[in-house]
Amino acid sequence: MPRPAKHHPERGDARARLLEAARDVIRAKGFAATSVDDLCKAAGVTKGAFFHHFETKEALGVAAAAYWAETTSAFFENAPYRKLEDPLDRLFGYVEFRKAIIDGDPAEFTCLVGTMTQEVYGSHPAIRDACAASIFGHAATLEPDIAAAMAARGIEADWTPASLARHTQAVLQGAFILAKATGDRADALDSVDHLKRYLTLLFSTPRSKGNPHDGC
Amino acid sequence: MPRPAKHHPERGDARARLLEAARDVIRAKGFAATSVDDLCKAAGVTKGAFFHHFETKEALGVAAAAYWAETTSAFFENAPYRKLEDPLDRLFGYVEFRKAIIDGDPAEFTCLVGTMTQEVYGSHPAIRDACAASIFGHAATLEPDIAAAMAARGIEADWTPASLARHTQAVLQGAFILAKATGDRADALDSVDHLKRYLTLLFSTPRSKGNPHDGC
DNA sequence: ACAAACATACCAACCGTTCGGTATGTTTCA
DNA sequence: TGAAACATACCGAACGGTTGGTATGTTTGT
């Protein structure tokens, strides 16, 4: 019987395939409910490969969050709206882009790190921290455009670019929860529309007072 | 040896104690990472009691979501802001009340059903549905006040009371994610402040578009 | 007496992890 | 040049602890 002379072209990418499997499976089933076997099966690798690349399951969770941060970062950097000249246009372009990628099953468009953050809060602090870095790191990329848009319009606000940037993430994360609850992406889109309306109101008011509702 | 003949006041409340334990532990560790033993230990009952009251662990998850819906419903119904006469005052009173109860550790003020929704999306549809009922049921309680406030101010909007009510829940859920990510409740409060500002802008804008003015 | 409300003991399946081993490059140095 | 030495990538059976769940006994209120 002749030697198969097997050359494995997929050799060397077990780690990447596991991270992609983690991204997809964990978004649907959650971190704890996803077993190592589940991940290996989804990635088409063996347990040996898994524990060659990741010391523990928790380490994979941390790596998956970091992988999510990397890939999404590149994804948004190369998005077409980034080429717009006006900072405010870029901000609204971002929101529109977020709306555009809300498509298919909720498990496909929702946020891995948002999902993991809540469930691992008390059980895997290391994963939670990696998720926090991803969320707030992404939020920070919005700050320059918000700040520039404020300056261009002479807006004096009682809110900061950072707080508004984080608020956009809060709305998106909350929108994902609603969409997962019903399985209907429309529930997410509705909320993002409210976010868009909020931004419109904020940046169409010359001197944004934003006062709390104190007894009209 | 004489029989203790003691009246056990805690007897008969194993179910309630398990549901309260579930509420507290699951918010910190997630549903899947919380074992039946964890719950029994936290509730001070045995496994026999657990499976006497709940057929499966999943059934407890469903019951916990229902229990959450019941208790929170009663909690908000009896809140002081509910006694305000003006619908818009009640709406802002709700937001202020939500801010007020954001205190202590994130595991104590975040939402059980919001946490569970994401992680059980693909693994326990029954729990997810119970969570959805809780979230959207609570959102629905805001609709009458929003509708009344719109009518009182003659607001013609391209959004519905239902969509705004759901948006408030999205913001709150997203705010909880941010707070759990950092462990800092201030991150949640900031986002709720943006929600408050959005509501202020919405209800201070008369029907004429494009020329919003502040205040009453 | 009887059923509901527990408690105790136990089990089989599953889980994350370990580990001895193979296959395929890569570096070293005579 | 080439082959020994080393490094990396991967395999998969097996292990011990944990898990959700069960079977059965005991207490309690009516």
> CB-based contact (8 Å) between B214 and chain A?
yes
Contact predicate A70/A130, CB 8 Å: no
Contact predicate A114/B177, CB 8 Å: yes
Percent of chain A with pLDDT over 70: 89
| B199 pLDDT more than 70 | yes
What was the pLDDT predicted at B156?
92
- Residue B15 CB lies within 7 Å of the nucleic strand C: yes
| A212 pLDDT more than 90 | no
- Residue B47 CB lies within 7 Å of the nucleic strand C: yes
pLDDT digits (tens, 9 = 90+) for B54-103: 999 999 999 999 999 999 999 999 999 999 999 999 999 999 999 999 99
Q: Do A178 and B174 touch (CB under 8 A)?
A: no
3-state secondary structure of B125: helix
Handedness of CA B153, B154, B159, B161 (dihedral sign): positive
CA–C1' span, A110 to D8, in Å? 35
Higher pLDDT, B87 or A10: B87
At A209, the pLDDT band (50, 70, 90 cuts) reads very low
A165 contacts on B by Cβ (under 8 Å): none
pLDDT digits (tens, 9 = 90+) for B138-168: 999 999 999 999 999 999 999 999 999 999 9
What was the pLDDT predicted at B11?
65
Please spell the DSSP secondary structure of A9-70, one letter per residue. Answer: TTTT-HHHHHHHHHHHHHHHH-STTS-HHHHHHHHT--HHHHHHH-SSHHHHHHHHHHHHHH
Rounded (5°) CA angle B77-B81-B83: 75
What was the pLDDT predicted at B206?
59
CA distance B31 to A127: 16
Q: Do A121 and B28 touch (CB under 8 A)?
A: yes
Percent of chain B with pLDDT over 70: 89
Cβ-nearest to B194 among A32, A123, A167: A167
Q: Do A181 and B117 touch (CB under 8 A)?
A: yes
Q: Do B214 and A209 touch (CB under 8 A)?
A: yes
CA distance B19 to chain A (A): 18
Length of chain A: 216
- Residue A47 CB lies within 7 Å of the nucleic strand D: yes
Higher pLDDT, B207 or B156: B156
Give the B window 133-192 contacts with A, CB below 8 Å.
135-136, 159, 163-164, 166-167, 169-178, 180-182, 187, 190-191
What was the pLDDT predicted at B43?
95
| B212 pLDDT more than 50 | no
At A13, the pLDDT band (50, 70, 90 cuts) reads confident
- Under 8 Å CB-to-CB from A196, ≥6 apart: which residues? A92, A95, A96
What was the pLDDT predicted at B7?
41
Q: How is chain A split into domains, by residue range? A: 58-204
Mean pLDDT, residues B188-211 taken together: 82
3-state secondary structure of B209: coil
What was the pLDDT predicted at B12?
73
Contact predicate B207/A200, CB 8 Å: no
CA–C1' span, A39 to C16, in Å? 13
- Under 8 Å CB-to-CB from B48, ≥6 apart: which residues? none
What was the pLDDT predicted at B213?
32
Q: Whole-number mean pLDDT of chain A?
A: 91
| B4 pLDDT more than 90 | no
* Residue located via tokens 């008369």: B206
Please spell the DSSP secondary structure of A110-152, one letter per residue. Answer: S-HHHHHHHHTTTT-HHHHHHHHHHHHHHHHTTHHHHHHHHHH
Determine the residue of chain B that is closest to A111 in CA distance. Answer: B118
B62-204: CATH architecture: Orthogonal Bundle (1.10)
What was the pLDDT predicted at A215?
34
Rounded (5°) CA angle B165-A165-A141: 145
Higher pLDDT, A204 or B23: B23
In Å, how far from its chain's centre is CA B23? 11
Instruction: Kindly report the CATH class assigned to A58-204.
Output: mainly alpha
What was the pLDDT predicted at B149?
97
CA distance B47 to B40: 6
CA–C1' span, B83 to D30, in Å? 43
What was the pLDDT predicted at B205?
61
At A1, the pLDDT band (50, 70, 90 cuts) reads very low
Q: Which of A115-124, B5-14, B143-152 has the lowest mean pLDDT?
A: B5-14
pLDDT digits (tens, 9 = 90+) for A86-114: 999 999 999 999 999 999 999 999 999 99
Q: Which of B88, B167, B196, B203 to mutate to test the interface with A (most CBs of A within 10 A)?
A: B167
List of A residues 16-75 with CB within 7 A of strand C: 34-37, 47-48, 50-51, 55-58
CA distance A177 to A131: 16
Query: Number of A:B CB contacts under 8 A?
Result: 211
